[in-house]
């Protein structure tokens, strides 16, 4: 919180003063996002998501950030419950 860039899983509504945009790929900067499979559509996860009808495949989660992710610090803890799923 000291530098204005601290975020929760919902991301920043207005990033720091030197950042040109507050959205990357249409989702809040710093938010937890996901997609199914490497080429899947990116969707907002945030602090809570309840979504049905995802395609079969591997779920990928990431922080919506620019290419300078090396300066990030911290973690998000994710609890996943899958229903009507099969291996």
What is the per-residue pLDDT across 23-62, written as a single tens digit (0 to 9) for each? 667 888 889 999 999 999 999 999 999 988 889 899 999 9
pLDDT band at 65 (very low <50, low <70, confident <90, very high): confident
d(CA 87, CA 84): 10
Query: Helices (H) and strands (E) in the chain — how many of each?
Result: 0, 5
Bridge partners of residue 43, in order along the sequence: 34
pTM over 0.85: no
**pLDDT confidence of residue 23:** 62
């Amino acid at each position: 919180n000291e530098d204005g860039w601290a975020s929760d899983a919902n991301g920043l509504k207005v990033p720091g003063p030197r950042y040109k945009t507050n959205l990357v790929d249409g989702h809040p900067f710093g938010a937890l996002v996901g997609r199914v499979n490497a080429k899947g559509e990116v969707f907002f996860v945030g602090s809570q998501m309840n979504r049905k009808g995802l395609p079969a495949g591997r779920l990928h989660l990431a922080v919506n950030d620019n290419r300078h992710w090396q300066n990030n610090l911290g973690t998000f803890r994710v609890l996943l419950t899958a229903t009507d799923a099969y291996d």
